[in-house]
Amino acid sequence: MAEEKKPNTDETAEGDVSALGLDVGTSRIVMAGGANGHKAKTQLNAFVGVPYSKMTEAILQQNKMVYHRNGKELYVFGADSERFASFFNAVPRRPMQHGVLNPQEPMGQQIIQAIIESVVPRAKKNELLCFSVPGKGEGADTNLVYHEAILKNYLQSLGYEAKAINEGLAVVFAELQNENFTGIGISCGGGMCNVCVAFLSVPMLTFSIPIAGDYIDNSVASVVDETVTRVRLVKEESLDLSRQPKDKITSALHIYYEEVINTLVEKLRDEFENSKQLPKLDRPMPIVLSGGTARPRGFLQKFEAAVKNGGFPVQISDVRMASDPLTATARGCYIAAMSEIR
């Protein structure tokens, strides 16, 4: 069992624990460790490329920006990539798309390894690390095996025993301990929404849909003729889905959020009705929502209304938000890792 000696994030960063959890998301990489997995480190899963010069590299070093050099290019990644991109009015690139490595991004594999290394220390001994992978679904199936293998091989090269865990199941582990890990875990991220229906910690049903935060941002930017960065800023800082929209950006955000919520609930309804694997439930199940896309005010209420509208194949006890939506998946991965070494 992990022994926590100093209650700070740096201690986790030094790897002085026997288990870690890693959320490998399209928009963010989050590592959880420490006591109960509540010590987290996060890094934006994005990068910007600039031509190499000694002066540029020196400026990056002076400003303590994280970067990766590859021949005649410098790649600024993580949170610094957004700052750097704003100087050039550019949009940061992503190593991942729809929850898996982006096959159209030639630097994707090298960059995601550099980003992971910025939050995950090298293992000191045979430490266990559980990392998240999406559920199968439209757009994810073909690349999922490759994506999981690349991540596993890289984490093993850092000295870890690496094990993949479904992203929705990680949410169940993080949030439904009092319900004996029985319920529906939903992670609404940047590239996709992941769902897991678990019974006593066993995943009975998992799937994903390829529309989530990025789809909302890009769709809104397209119809209102704004930059994706501007749309994302409005969404993350001031969007309230419980109030009437006050301008064209918030109006479009409401429309596309409605589409994502309705698509997700309808898919969940269909999966329940068509699945033959589900046990007979003797009590209602909770739904837990997590991920950055679920954070705007009013999302929970809109999701709850969509579940109630038109009935649902199983009884739902309540719909709740994760205690920390941005770290729930990483914490669930950590709990999975800890359960393996006890």
pLDDT of 5 over the 70 cut: no
**Residue 12 pLDDT > 50, yes or no?**
no
| Predicted pLDDT at 247 | 95
pLDDT per residue as tens digits for the range 96-114: 988 999 989 999 999 999 9
Given a cut of 80, whether residue 258 has pLDDT beyond it is: yes
Average pLDDT estimate for 151-166: 96
| 258 domain residue, yes or no | yes
Q: Give CA–CA dist 73/225, Å, rounded.
A: 31
pLDDT at 84: 80
Domain containing 229 — which CATH number?
3.30.420.40
Q: 302 lies in a domain?
A: yes
Q: 9 falls in which pLDDT band (50, 70, 90)?
A: very low
Q: Is residue 46 part of a domain?
A: no
Residue range 52-59: mean pLDDT, rounded: 92
pLDDT digits (tens, 9 = 90+) for 166-219: 999 999 999 999 999 999 999 999 999 999 999 999 999 999 999 999 999 999
Which residues are registered as beta bridge partners of 163? 130
Number of domains within the chain: 1
Q: Token pair for residue 98? A: 């729809």
pLDDT for 10 equals 34
pLDDT on residue 88: 72
Q: How far apart are CA 93 and CA 195, in angstroms?
A: 26
User: What pLDDT, on a 0 to 100 scale, did the predictor assign at position 342?
Assistant: 66
Q: Give the number of other CB atoms < 10 A from CB of residue 149.
A: 11
Q: Which of the listed ranges 97-111, 122-136, 319-333 does the model predict with the highest average pLDDT? A: 319-333
Residue 279 inside a domain? The answer is yes
Cα 54 to the chain's mean position, in Å?
35
Kindly report the average pLDDT of the chain as a whole number.
Answer: 89
* Least confident interval from 16-25, 58-67, 126-135, 234-243: 16-25
Give me the phi and psi of 199, to 5 degrees please.
Answer: -125, 115
Tokens, residue 115: 């980003």
299 in any annotated domain: yes
pLDDT of residue 140: 54
Residue 48 located in a structural domain: no
Which pTM does this prediction carry?
Answer: 0.90
On whether residue 29 sits in a domain, the answer given is no
Residue 92 has pLDDT above 60, yes or no: yes
Tell whether 147 is covered by a domain: no
Least reliable range by pLDDT among 121-125, 217-221, 245-249: 121-125
236 or 278, greater pLDDT: 236
Residue-number span of the structural domain to which 223 is assigned: 174-321
